[in-house]
Amino acid sequence: MFPTQLITSKRWWQPRYTVLALIWLVYGCFYLNRLNFAPVIPLIIEDLKISHAQIGLISTFFFALYAAAQFPAGYLSDILGPKKIITLGGFISALANLLFSAGASFFHLVGAQSLNGLGQAGCWGPSVKLVNNWFPETERGRALGIYATCACIFTVLAYALAGYLGKTFGWRAAFWTVPIILLSVLLVYWVVVDDYPDRNSLRSFRSRPPEQDERSSGNRNKLIFMLSHKDVRMASIGFSCLSYIRYGILVWLPAYLYESYGLSVVTASLLAAVYPLAGLVASPVGGYLSDVAFGGRRKPLLLIALSFILLSTISLARADRLEWAMILIGGVGFFEQLIAPQFFALELDLLPPELAGTGAGFLEAGGHLGSMCAMFFSGLLVDVFGSYNPVFLVFANLAAAGIAVVLFVHESKPC
């Protein structure tokens, strides 16, 4: 299925680069169907007369299903292959967005976004499995860093497209356009990409001794193995803290700019793009620093970035000018996206290859328990205090907690 003969004639281009490019595009289109909600939050509030807390609950249910399905999606990608799981997840997400566009009540929106969370869970963990199948350990951090840039670009596209469609045609238009894009890209992905370089279940890149692989998995229950692995648990908690901050900002930033500075929906959506755009530089740089500058060690970079996020979010709670707030938001976005992919590189370092998908699903599930909490509690804090400053202070506390747990992670590579 994969046109190997056409590609191998160009030595500078390898089949794994094509796989990376296509999965980059697929996950980006998943983002179009995930973050189209954030820019039109003010329009939904005005149209359906629901509160910030209710909006938070809609996103909370999304992330509850998203987190709950992460481990099964990763586990199934280890058994059935990532290709099938990613394609199924994309189909479910597209269907959920179409259902959301017809929503007329709070409960209808909750149900549709819950289904969307289930579908969205089918991409990231299996994608990490796919990257692990196609790239050797020495390129792992950089491959994941490059892959993560799709979130940066497509978050901006999601904000701009949803903001424009919502302002011009009403908020519902933002939910029936993007599923068509996702389904079209999935068709190309299904035709071109294979799960493994040699189209079978054997890894081409062996990064760990066979005896360690056998010792780690065997016939033991995979979930029990993950829960009993202290370093994986600590990494999951740290990633949960980071995900709380990430999605608390991604979802609420357009509304924060709209309500705090009196910007229009379109302008607020465009300015909110500062946060994800920072990742265009940050994610590849993080991969390079992790693989090359730190010799494959992830922990030093995680600690440095979390420290900067801590200081920036404290300052953001005190910001009273739009210019200063945008600089700080861009800084948080840079350091958050500098390290987010490296949590998964750390997970791949800690686990044997046959648990790559399961481990990524476990890490992503733990991370999005934080995202789930961020949606509801951020909205609740805004309703109670009438300000976003308490939200930013919670982010600072989560950054401090992330530093604390990362300190307990024992890396396999020597210092």
Segment 116-144, tens digit of pLDDT: 999 998 988 899 889 888 888 778 788 88
Integer Cα distance of 379 and 327 in angstroms: 23
Does the structure show a pLDDT above 50 at 362? yes
Integer Cα distance of 166 and 160 in angstroms: 10
For residues 346-351, average pLDDT: 86
Joined tokens for residue 70: 């992460």
* pLDDT value, residue 13: 65
Largest pairwise CA distance in the chain: 63
* pTM of this structure: 0.71
Phi, psi for residue 67 in degrees, rounded to 5? -70, -45
DSSP H helical segments within 177-298, as ranges?
Answer: 178-192, 210-216, 222-228, 230-261, 265-272, 274-277, 279-288
Please work out, in degrees rounded to the nearest 5, the angle formed at the alpha carbon of residue 227 by the alpha carbons of 221 and 232: 120
For residues 245-261, average pLDDT: 88
Of 26, 58, 317, 9, nearest in space to 188 by CA: 26
Domain range 16-205+225-406, CATH class: mainly alpha
- Note the pLDDT tens digit of each residue in 19-57: 999 999 999 999 999 888 888 888 988 888 888 888 888
Integer Cα distance of 246 and 148 in angstroms: 13
375 burial (CB, 10 Å; 0-12 / 13-18 / 19+) is buried
Please tell me the least confidently modeled range out of 96-100, 123-127, 299-303. 123-127
Does the structure show a pLDDT above 50 at 401? yes
Question: Measuring CA to CA, how many Å separate 6 from each of 11, 41, 193, 197?
Answer: 11, 46, 14, 15
State the pLDDT confidence band at 204, using cuts at 50, 70 and 90: very low
- Note the pLDDT tens digit of each residue in 144-194: 888 888 888 888 888 889 988 988 898 999 998 999 999 999 999 999 988
Q: In 334-380, at which residue ranges do the beta strands (DSSP E only) sit?
A: none
50 burial (CB, 10 Å; 0-12 / 13-18 / 19+) is middle
4 Cβ contact list (under 8 Å, min separation 6): 15
State the pLDDT confidence band at 211, using cuts at 50, 70 and 90: very low
Phi, psi for residue 409 in degrees, rounded to 5? -75, 130
* pLDDT value, residue 270: 82
For residues 7-18, average pLDDT: 65
State the pLDDT confidence band at 412, using cuts at 50, 70 and 90: low
For residues 207-228, average pLDDT: 53
Integer Cα distance of 238 and 215 in angstroms: 26
- Note the pLDDT tens digit of each residue in 50-73: 888 888 889 888 888 988 888 888
Integer Cα distance of 166 and 264 in angstroms: 12
* pLDDT value, residue 167: 86
Integer Cα distance of 415 and 400 in angstroms: 23
Does the structure show a pLDDT above 90 at 243? yes
